Amino acid sequence: MVRHRAILRSAKFDLPSPLMLNITITQATYGSRVLLCPDITSESDSCQELMGPKVETTEKKTVMFPLDEGAQRFAVVLYHDKAEQFGPANFIIHSIEIRSTNDEILC
């Protein structure tokens, strides 16, 4: 069985207020995608596409995504179903931070 995704799931958490999720990542493979899913499932229909599939330059990028007060988990999905066409995917996750609305790093 061929797997087209790698999944990084968060621990369960409780947010005191809406916060920002900052992910710094390098995506190097055309056709690949970075998805953020609202819970521990990784079904792409419930996920938000953060990067891809069009990759024009390989550079470190920071993507910011708001987390609602009711959020308890998230999953980052690195997805690539075009390996035969574009080769194996290459991703580097440099950091994942949760920040306050005042831009303070909370974790």
Question: What is the structure's pLDDT at 84?
Answer: 83
In a domain, 49, yes or no: yes
pLDDT value, residue 2: 53
Q: Is 107 inside a domain boundary?
A: no
- Per the structure, the count of domains in the chain is 1
- Residue 105 in any domain: the answer is no
Report yes or no on 36 lying in a domain.
Answer: yes
Q: Which helix (H) or strand (E) holds 65?
A: strand 60-67
CA dihedral over 83, 88, 90, 91, signed as positive or negative: positive
State the pLDDT at residue 27: 92
In a domain, 104, yes or no: no
Q: Which domain holds residue 82?
A: 5-98
Tell whether 12 is covered by a domain.
yes
Q: Give mean pLDDT, residues 11-20.
A: 89
DSSP 14-41: --SS-EEEEEEEEE-STT-EEEEESSS-
CATH number of the domain enclosing 42: 2.60.120
Please check whether residue 74 lies inside any domain of the structure: yes
How do residues 66-98 score in pLDDT, each as one tens digit? 998 888 899 999 988 887 888 888 899 999 999
18-64 pLDDT, tens digit per residue, is: 999 999 999 988 889 999 998 765 566 788 999 988 888 888 999 99
pLDDT-based confidence at 1, cuts 50/70/90? very low
Name which of 74, 94, 93, 80 is nearest 2 in CA terms.
80
Q: For residues 69 and 33, give the distance between their C-alpha atoms in angstroms, rounded to a whole number.
A: 26
